[in-house]
Amino acid sequence: MSEPEPIDEQKPEPMSGHDSLDELLAEKPASQKSDIEEKESLVEEEAKVPAVEPESGDQTSHLFAVRTTGGQEKIVMRLLETKMKMGQIDVQSVLLLDDLKGYVVVEAQDPPSMFNAIQGIRHIRGQLRGELQYNEIDKYLIKKSTVTELSVDNTVEIIGGPFKGMKATVKRVDQEKEEAVVILLDAPYQLPVTVDANHLKKVLS
């Protein structure tokens, strides 16, 4: 009995021409490549991928932007998350960025781990060349609390809660609870109100 022929798995088409997230976000959508150009790009990129062996004791992960079919980012993220939960892939996390349409960001130990994780996943089209730097995406991950920007006597606009749309003056700030006591300027009488600091927006004087 002859051995079955190995299945030729379809590999994602690599993305080329971008060295950073800023370049990608600044670029307008381009027309798709021809099949021949895509195949040539695949061969060139595969030749560039080094065999990365992590140094002993080095547990630092890396961030990679994986290109997806437009509008299918959430599906790709869920497929990868399912594989992560089943222990089928060596990936630390997967996330979506609002300003990075058509991509998901994969956190992995090294490039081979990332490439292995995306093999056979539907709607994956390739990857952004190189790695993303943490400082390129931290503004999307870390929400700075408004409480750090507030001071007594600041004029603020309330942008959430029952007093939304009203202006007020800050009388006390509780950094630990992320709350502020304010006096409503639009009320007929002065009434101290405790408000979530993240519902306050400073009004420039």
- Tell me the C-alpha distance between 102 and 118, whole Å: 15
CATH code 2.30.30.30 region(s) in the chain: 146-202
- The secondary structure of the chain in percent helix, strand, coil, rounded to multiples of 5, reads 25, 25, 50
Structure tokens at 3: 């051995």
Report pTM.
0.45
Give the model confidence (pLDDT) of 116-162 as tens digits: 999 989 899 888 778 888 877 776 665 666 787 888 999 999 998 88
Residues 6+ apart with CB under 8 A from 43: none
Class of domain 21-49+58-141: alpha beta
Give the model confidence (pLDDT) of 160-175 as tens digits: 888 899 999 999 999 8
8 Å CB contact between 181 and 135: no
- Residue by residue, DSSP assigns 60-72 as --EEEEEEE-TT-
What CATH number should be reported for the domain whose range is 146-202? 2.30.30.30
